[in-house]
A = this chain, B = another copy of it.
Amino acid sequence: MGDSGVGSNPYYWDYLRLDDLLGAQRLESARHGRPAHDEMLFIVVHQVYELWFKQILWELDGVLAAMAEPRLDDDRMGQVVRRLQRIVAIQPLLMAQLDVIETMTPLDFLDFRGYLAPASGFQSLQFRLIENKLGISPQRRARIGGMPYTAVLREDHRELLERSAREPNLLSLVEGWLARTPFLRFGSFDFWQVYRRAVEEVLAEERAAIDRNPHLGDDARAEQLARHRAYGESFAVLFDRDAWEARRASGERRLSHDAFLAALLISLYRDAPAFQLPFSLLTALVDIDEGFTAWRQRHALMAFRMIGGRVGTGGTSGHRYLEAAAERHSVFRDLFALSGFLLPTSKLPDLPADVKAQLGFRYQTTTG
């Protein structure tokens, strides 16, 4: 505020730096002498996106800092979860803005599209930083016109991105936090042995149901058995640390065996007091991942509608890239996969009383 001379009495306009903000819309079409009314919308929508990206990075950086500490204090978990949930709350706005862009018809877009090339959303440094900080797999990144995603960026931005790709990210930090959980071994109680027996029982029941089903023809029965075998094999991998880690090495899985087991445990017993916030955290990660995937898909549809399969201002087919990114840029796919390993609560082993007590609040165990 100092520079506005208002001293200790902030004025709304100065506080929000509206001279800078509202002076930042310069129409390329006007610079070329053919002002196109709708270019203002194009600029404003993209600027709003960048403001939200800045906010998302702000929350993400706060979360990464908290998760990078050797021990995440219980008191800070609430804050971490709230910040992730705020990102989830921002995502519907990113989506809804596409509806506003679509009030611009392709014909209106054409009035200034030519002036923008090669500028394009591919060059959004902040969105790429978000992807890297979430922990997108560098191997799986979609290429842009056959080139690495950084090729379209300015040198200094490229360096920022390359650095961010080397730093700890949300996936790696969550992985470490899960793997460190003290609950994978509970003294004498071997949870995984109990869980495994329950799984075997469930598998046997399903197998019997297929065998017994009088309505199935031979082909249908064979197909159901094949699926049942595949289901059984997914558990076999879960119970075999080496098999799991081999899949992780191949890129099929991204969480370590320990981390995945911890996430599964949390999902199975989410109502134990000590697991409630961790479960909210895992849920928020899935929400964020789903939100960005859905946004990329809708964005691809919008791009297709706007330029009809032609090459975008970034020199490549925007909607094809976005479709590929929607499929390949998911970060927390392993957490989506958790639901394939859950058991009905009726089959779920009860935790022993001493384990339950450990997962409860201290005031309860002393008063209870």
Contacts and interface: CB of A to CB of B under 8 A. Distances in A.
B12 A119 contact: yes
A100 to B, nearest CB: 5
A290 interface: yes
A66 B258 CA distance: 35
Copies in the complex: 4
Contacts of A118: 9-10
Contact of A315 (B28, B224, B307): B224
B277 A276 contact: yes
Contacts of A227: 311
A31 B1 CA distance: 9
Given A28-B1, A363-B274, A44 B55 contact: yes
A37 to B, nearest CB: 6
Interface size class of A (residues with CB under 8 A): 35 or more
Interface string A101-133: 001011100110011111111111110000000
Contacts of A22: 50-51, 54, 126
Interface string A41-55: 101101110111011
A306 B11 CA distance: 21
B286 A290 contact: no
B93 A364 contact: no
A225 interface: no
B342 A106 contact: yes
A24 interface: yes
B48 A48 contact: yes
Interface in A296-328: 297-298, 301-302, 304-311, 315, 326
Nearest to A272: B75
B361 A12 contact: no
Contacts of A16: 24, 43, 46-47, 50
A365 interface: yes
Contacts of A70: none
